[in-house]
A and B are shown apart, each in its own frame.
Chain A
């Protein structure tokens, strides 16, 4: 804890794949710093699952750890199999908004409903970045993307609130402009049980920022800061006042029974039942 933090301790000696200014660097840093501050000398008690997209590359294969880079949208099902069979491991999912709440949405909802004991960190850059900037389920209304050249005609999804409604034990949202809060939320989530969801609003200067009129990554981060409103404050405001805002903070923290608890108690019961 007292030693100086360096991400290198946890990373393979490989060149990272992210564009300059990408928010993935910030999220990766926040996670590894959280791990460091919690006293993990290495990542041997973790398993990382990720899908397809830039954010899925945060752990895979860069973390010196077990990592399963799955198909697009399928990180949570794979994490389900891992966690159920190895409940002692910390299973963490990294993914983008397209991966987690686009193609993988139903898995996300069901994992929250089951209260599966995993931490999902969703890097929400509001766009399909890896494929060149197509509209995502999280893209703001009217925003121009390569597949909405006249502006997005759909409303974005509120993933954090969805996770709350679905049954997650812990939900928080921060942005890459709130590095310390993000790190603290990750630390907290790593110490809790059940389904934990952290949404990190992030910048994609290459495939999104440019098109919606930001000069660079720094401008986007500044924009996050300006639009941010703490959840406590947001609760006092009406829907209309919040349309242009990013609501930040802890959405919920509770202690619902988790899936590994209920599954293993069911096994215990079954082994007591006499075969008829």
Chain B
């Protein structure tokens, strides 16, 4: 067996992520064991060698992402997977990957933090960390799957975005989505859109500028590429004091993502133009909205939702649209208010933004809990 064949599978979220990575072209994985992300490492340890890829367990998460960065510079698509504590350790290197324009994918299977917290229990506390976790002026691309099918689809998408924008991309999953099993429809490889990185022409020399997303050479190809996390000019030459070089580089790195925020930002919307109560949700928590909305409608309450598939860049437009129709917007999250503040920034004044927060023990916000609040707020 090489890559997964077209068909319907019954996979765990982690398995769908691993198989999607292989189909997307990933041939290098480095990671460190951590609950609840270890299944991804285990699956890739088994599968990558079967497709001539390499999976290695490193001494810690810092080494893991370091090895992934090295592999990416050989021209390979590469990834790592971790959870909160490991994600914290990777933050410096995420900034490095951003600064050096190294495409890679990081899967963060969220658990209940801070610190060791409840290691086996689900949480959504890493949302802001995925955006602002590294130091300096940084722009993140973060995707949020809410089903096993999306663990598959959005892993492919994560690799595509990483290659398209030459930047690290985070798949922000959670314990529930990564551990549950569901049916997954795998298309034929011809039907899967795969984006490969833009390679330089033999005459190219500027691998860090001149165009929004510069071409990326691999080491060993004779390009003599100088890669550095220090501020550098278009040719990779360190420039540690020139304010203009810094401004030019860091603005371009941020703009190449922010200028395409609307293209990157994907949502699933329902009844956003004709609702009294709106909901903004993402990840495992969003699994409660479907039944809650269905019940609410049987009670005559016009309800709509925007479910975030992209968290960063934040999908402002669909939320603005929702706020134009909804009087109130509920924001259920398994944390103590994170996306709530973003919704508020975008929609406050147009709609009333109401946080719904539940943490601890991995308990999801249930459709019944959500429905109770919808009914109360609709009165």
Contact = CB atoms under 8 A, between A and B. Distances in A.
In the complex, A touching B, CB below 8 Å?
yes
Contact of B52 (A67, A106, A271): A271
Interface in B58-83: 58-60, 62-76, 78
B185 interface: no
Contact of B96 (A70, A79, A82, A263): A70
A86 B229 contact: no
B28 A71 contact: no
Contact of B225 (A14, A66, A82, A86): A66
B167 interface: no
Nearest to B74: A85
Give the size category of B's interface with A: 35 or more
Contacts of B202: none
A247 B230 CA distance: 36
A80 B76 contact: no
B71 A270 contact: no
B138 interface: no
A178 interface: no
B228 A69 contact: yes
B226 to A, nearest CB: 4
B66 A70 contact: yes
A164 to B, nearest CB: 19
A74 B62 contact: yes
A68 B224 contact: no
B275 to A, nearest CB: 48
Contact of B237 (A14, A80, A267): A14
Contact of B219 (A64, A68, A70, A269): A68
A65 interface: yes
B226 A110 contact: no
A67 B227 contact: yes
Contacts of A77: 58, 62-67, 69-70
A253 interface: no
A78 to B, nearest CB: 4
B56 interface: yes
Contact of A81 (B30, B50, B227, B228): B30
A271 B236 CA distance: 39
22 contacts: A60-B226, A64-B224, A65-B224, A67-B225, A69-B238, A71-B92, A77-B66, A78-B67, A78-B70, A78-B73, A80-B30, A80-B63, A80-B70, A81-B71, A81-B73, A81-B78, A82-B219, A88-B220, A106-B60, A263-B56, A271-B49, A275-B1
Q: 4 smallest A-B Cβ distances: which pairs?
A: A81-B70, A77-B66, A270-B49, A275-B1
Interface of B: 1, 27-28, 30, 49-50, 52-54, 56, 58-60, 62-76, 78, 92-93, 96, 219-220, 222-230, 236-238
Interface of A: 14, 44-45, 47, 49, 60-61, 64-71, 74, 76-86, 88-89, 106-107, 110, 263, 266-267, 269-271, 273, 275
